[in-house]
Amino acid sequence: MEDQEMVEDTLPLRQDLTCPVCQGIFQDPVLLPCTHSFCRECLQRSWQFNKKCPVCRERFEEGQAIPNRALSDASTSFLRQNNRRTIPIRAANEDTGCNIHLKPLELYCEKDEGPLCVDCVAQHSTHRLWPLKEGTAICKKELGYKVQIFEKKVESYKKMTKKFSNAVEYIKYQAGEAEKIIKAEFERLRNVLNAEEQKRLSALAREEEEKVEVLRKMSDEIEVDIVKIKELIDSLKREMGNEDLPLLQNFQNVKRQAQWTEPEPSFLFDSLLNMGKHIGALSYNIWKDLKYHVQYYPVVLDPNSASPWLSLNGSLTTVKESSERLTVPENSERFDPCVFVLGAQGYSTGKYKWDVIVGDNPKWILGVCKETVARKKKFTLSTGRGVWVIGLSKGVYTAYTAPERTEILVPQGPEKIRIKLNIEKGEVSFWDGGREKHLVTLTHKFEDTTLYPIFGPGLHTTPMILAPGKIAVHTS
């Protein structure tokens, strides 16, 4: 009972020494120009979020707060007297009272989004105030909107998770298809190498047989000559065994018969195997011969950028309309809804050239574009939008220049379009690849950008085909 009376006696002083923010006895109090005091730490935390006085809402600048030494000394004495920092003193209703005026919270400020008591109204005179019940309804309505937003976000995240799962399966499908093609191509090349090996081994065996046959035939001829020479030797020895007079009488005749006019046996020129022909620079010669069994494409297509309405072949060299929309991931590189596909490689420097067979396709678009071209929305084909292309539509050939398109006069429709890109000169030129006739050149100063070949075959069953380039082996 005595302790309770002591608390009641110190209550007025305690309220005077209580920080309006933390509701504890002041610690290192500071004074604002508006004459309100706060713990230094409390004011610093408050200033980070709101540059106004927590009580009267008057704006102040950092550094304007000055130490309140009188209040600091009084707080220190009070704490020393009570031997501890007191707990916050609240109104009778401890959970719902105003921290400043110690009165019940009966109103809601729409601007500050918090409850207040009737004595706080003066500091919120320009704000819209509501009874607590209506304020609660306002808050619940706003939170309800957030709940709806988050619920939609959860559904969106779930859908994206499903898309990621489908993408995983698609990647496995891609890997499987790539594995089949790689194995088939290596098998084909192995067969080519095996055939090349057999051809070279057969040529070696053939030359070996021919050279050995020649040497054996020459050896047999020498054996015959040896027999004849031995017979001649025996004949001479018999004559040499005769008496002197008969030997002398028959000497001239024997001498005339003792003649050998056959040439001395020797190696013929090129008697041995031509080792340089068979094994000299063998790997290089095999590689050089392989060029007749491979095709080089200056550009191949990027299936990850292809519209779901486009179908590509396994070697990524032809593209045409798909009979139905393909089930592919909605990755950021893919064109959708626009019906385009990019080349697999981008260029930032250098000169390049590639041919595209358009055949009798009545509508197509060809050229180059920036890597940053829009993929997930329709966009205007224009040099001003980072797209340098020409196209055919309704029998008219057009260069998509800015601000207006330019019609190209073409006497005879080309079946093959050649695109030449010279980044340093800032030129994209288009040619009739079959007749070697220039159609149009688009110019631009390409700086700090990567350009990709772009193909728009239109929704037609006629395929757009990338023509293979020529292979030349240069040595030095």
Q: Tell me the two tokens of residue 180.
A: 């089949």
Output the pLDDT for position 9.
54
| pLDDT band, residue 93 (cuts 50/70/90) | very low
Query: 418 forms bridges with which residues in the sheet?
Result: 355, 431
**Surface-to-core class of residue 193, CB atoms within 10 Å of its CB (0-12 exposed, 13-18 middle, 19+ buried):** middle
Q: Check pLDDT > 50 for residue 297.
A: yes
Q: How would CATH label the architecture of 2-132?
A: 2-Layer Sandwich (3.30)
Of 312, 346, 337, 329, nearest to 466 (Cα)?
312
Q: Residue 422: exposed, middle, or buried by beta-carbon count in 10 A (0-12, 13-18, 19+)? A: middle
pLDDT band per the 50, 70, 90 thresholds, residue 89 = very low
Question: Does residue 329 surpass a pLDDT of 50?
Answer: yes
Q: What is the pLDDT of residues 341-352, one digit of tens each?
A: 999 999 999 999
Q: Given the structure tokens 């001649």, which residue do they identify?
A: 232
Res 393 pLDDT > 80: yes
Sheet containing strand 37-39, edge to edge, reads: 37-39, 29-31, 66-67
pLDDT-derived band at 5, boundaries 50, 70, 90: very low
CATH number of the domain at 303-466, out of 2.60.120.920, 3.30.70.1170, 2.60.40.1260, 2.40.50.1040?
Answer: 2.60.120.920
- Rounded distance between C-alpha atoms, residue 201 and residue 76, angstroms: 106
Residue 84 clears pLDDT 50, i.e. is over it:
no
Owner of token pair 């032809």: 318
pLDDT bin (cut points 50, 70, 90) of residue 242 is: confident
Cα dihedral value 427, 432, 436, 440, nearest 10: -30
- pLDDT category of residue 82 using cuts at 50, 70 and 90: confident
Average pLDDT over residues 142-163: 95
Output the pLDDT for position 474. Answer: 80
Report if pTM > 0.75: no
Q: In 3D, which of 291, 295, 286, 281 has the Cα closest to residue 196? A: 286
Task: Please state the rounded mean pLDDT for residues 436-465.
Answer: 93
Question: Looking at residue 83, what is its pLDDT?
Answer: 57
pLDDT exceeding 70 applies to what percent of the chain?
95
Quote the CA–CA distance of 264 and 236 in Å, as a whole number: 21
